[in-house]
Amino acid sequence: MNRILMNLALAGLAATASFAAQHDMPAGMTHEQHQAQMKKQAEMKKNGNAAMGFDQDKTTHHFFLTKDGGRIQVESNSVGDTASRDEIRAHLKQISQEFSSGDFRAPLATHSETPPGVSAMQRLKEKIGYSFAERPQGAEVRIHSADREAVIAIHDFLRYQIREHATGDPVAEVK
């Protein structure tokens, strides 16, 4: 009987430790702040699924800053997931066209707010170029400009995306 109780206690401790490891609270954040952050992330995923047309949990976003702008890159997490790959390609092709015309409704729908940099990118749309390219598991949109103010706006927009999507991508320029 004692052995059974000991095993149950150990199983309970292991489950508690596993749950805690999955939900570690960031340093310096209260429980309430962490709960709000998790709720915001869940809402963004739900909104992103609708706005982008693909499952956020089956895909990975990356945002890279470059000297002349940056890149938005999205790929399916599984090589065999051609449905997500095709949905990503359709979305990013559409995004490159919409952004080019100053239409940023998709990021607004995903994040429930207008990301930093958008108003300047809309105002300077004639000075910003967008190019779409397929990748093996998805696609990317390259955003580029020779105008310094436009590049700053692009960087602001991409840094916001890095933070909101929690990609861990560098917030400094890459080559």
**pLDDT value of residue 80:** 94
Instruction: Tell me the per-residue pLDDT of 78-122, one tens digit each, with 9 for 90 and over.
Output: 999 999 999 999 999 999 999 999 999 887 777 688 899 999 999
**pLDDT value of residue 147:** 98
Asked if 118 and 107 count as a contact pair (C-beta separation under 8 A), the reply is yes
Query: For residue 6, what is the enclosing H or E element?
Result: helix 2-22
Asked if 44 and 110 count as a contact pair (C-beta separation under 8 A), the reply is yes
Select the more confidently predicted residue: 73 or 30.
73
**pLDDT value of residue 115:** 92
Residue 46 has pLDDT above 60, yes or no: no
Residue 57 pLDDT class (50, 70, 90 cuts): confident
pTM: 0.74
- C-alpha dihedral (4, 9, 12, 13), degrees to nearest 10: -140
